[in-house]
């Protein structure tokens, strides 16, 4: 079974075991068919009793967790779902599918490897390991020319990449 990371547990929400999670995508609609999740490191799914979305966060109540204290023990853990349940439109990607992709320019010169995707509001930022240094670039069409998740490949416009990269 193929599982993908859908959210990161942040903290308890209330007293009865509701969990506040940071979503790993900007489109909660992708998760409409997900009725159970896997806690990081567990092979047994937890049934979702309720879920709601607000401001880039998911608030979820799982059948196996019924107290604030239990949620506290899970801070930082990932929530995973079966890949087959996530409906991803053609022009969108699940972060797990592109992490580890080789980043090359349009002439196929190696630039580095995508090691993380972060979001601070305006757009996603790709974190690229380039020669043992980390750089961030905005995920915008001017810079990112093509993404091929099946081949773990990201093609960028070299000139725009060099102008936009920010050293971490």
Q: Identify the CATH number of the domain in which residue 66 sits.
A: 2.40.30.60
Domain assignment of residue 90, yes or no: no
> Are 32 and 78 members of one domain?
yes
Q: How confident is the model at residue 110 (pLDDT cuts 50, 70, 90)?
A: very high
Is the model's pLDDT at 91 over the cut of 80? Answer: no
Q: What is the pLDDT of residues 68-86, one digit of tens each?
A: 999 999 999 999 999 888 8
- Residue 99 backbone dihedrals phi, psi, to 5 degrees: -60, 135
Q: How far apart are CA 60 and CA 98, in angstroms?
A: 26
Helix (H, G, I), strand (E, B) or coil at 138: strand
Query: 148, exposed or middle or buried, with CB in 10 Å at 0-12, 13-18, 19+?
Result: exposed
Is the model's pLDDT at 121 over the cut of 70? Answer: no
Domain span at residue 30?
Answer: 3-85
Average predicted confidence (pLDDT) for the chain: 88
Predicted pLDDT at 123: 79
CA-closest candidate to residue 35, choices 51, 21, 19, 16: 51
Q: What is the pLDDT of residues 16-45, one digit of tens each?
A: 999 999 888 777 888 888 999 999 988 899
Is the model's pLDDT at 167 over the cut of 80? Answer: no
> Are 76 and 105 members of one domain?
no
Q: How far apart are CA 21 and CA 18, in angstroms?
A: 10
Q: Which of 58, 85, 112 is a domain's end point?
A: 85
Read off the tokens for 149. 């998740």
> Are 62 and 100 members of one domain?
no
Is the model's pLDDT at 153 over the cut of 90? Answer: yes
Is the model's pLDDT at 47 over the cut of 80? Answer: yes
CA-closest candidate to residue 127, choices 155, 158, 97, 100: 100
């Amino acid at each position: 079974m193929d599982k993908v990371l859908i959210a990161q547990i942040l903290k308890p929400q209330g007293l009865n075991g509701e969990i506040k999670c940071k979503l790993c995508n900007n489109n909660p609609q992708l998760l409409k068919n997900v009725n159970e999740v896997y806690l990081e490191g567990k092979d047994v799914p937890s049934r979702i009793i309720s879920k709601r979305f607000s401001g880039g966060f998911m608030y979820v109540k799982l059948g196996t967790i019924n107290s604030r204290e239990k949620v506290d023990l899970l801070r930082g853990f990932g929530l995973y779902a079966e890949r087959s349940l996530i409906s991803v439109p053609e022009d969108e990607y699940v972060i797990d599918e592109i992490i580890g992709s080789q980043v090359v320019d349009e002439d196929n010169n190696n630039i580095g490897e995508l090691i993380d995707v972060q979001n601070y509001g305006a757009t996603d930022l790709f974190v690229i390991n380039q020669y043992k240094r980390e750089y961030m670039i905005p995920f915008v069409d001017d810079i990112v020319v093509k993404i091929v998740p099946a081949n773990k490949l990201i093609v960028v416009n070299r000139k725009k990449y060099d102008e936009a990269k920010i050293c971490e």
